[in-house]
Amino acid sequence: MITISVSDYNQFSQDYYDSVINSLQLHRLKCSCGHSACLSVHAYYCRSVFLPDSILSLRVCRVRCSECGRTHALLLSSIVPFCRISLSRQVMVVQAFEDCASLSPLYDDDMFDENNVKSVILRYRRFWRERLRSEKIPLVPLPDLVLSCFAIYSMQFMQIHRGTNILFAGTT
């Protein structure tokens, strides 16, 4: 998977995703095999993202490497791989947990309930808490958190499933 760095971590719509992907110069993307200028649009798939008032079904682009044949999903850095909860919302939950604040205001909407909050905290405690502390990585600002996690762990913050994930920082 290839994660595209974005500046707005609270923007979620198909139009926004499409505008970021359409602004990419695919020849600048690098495959996990090390080659660049070898990726072309291969297919699309749908994935869901929780929004405050609904669930967004996002059509995600996949690219294929002409050198090694591997395919990669193109995700925005505001999305956590293999998770329907956005990065900004997960960081909000983790901050409240670390500050020992009340968690009940976090599940005010219909799409995000107590089980989602508990799931985020559990994944954070099991996998990410000590990693952040050991490297002294702060939770905010989000761009710094994302860059640090990719630089040190080659993963998006709160990504649990280990897999190849490459951060592409230049979107224009």
Q: The tokens of 42 are what?
A: 């291969």
Q: Are 135 and 129 in contact (CB under 8 A)?
A: no
Residue 141 preceded by cis peptide, ω within 30 = yes
**The pLDDT value given to residue 129:** 97
Q: Are 36 and 30 in contact (CB under 8 A)?
A: yes
User: Cα separation of 148 and 143, whole Å?
Assistant: 9
What is the DSSP-derived secondary structure letter of residue 157?
T
pLDDT tens-digit map of 5-41: 998 888 889 999 999 999 998 888 999 898 989 999 9
pTM higher than the cut 0.85: yes
> Residue 46: what are its φ and ψ, rounded to 5°?
-100, 140
User: Cα separation of 122 and 45, whole Å?
Assistant: 28
pLDDT tens-digit map of 155-170: 999 998 888 899 998 7
Q: How far is C-alpha 23 from the chain's CA centre?
A: 19
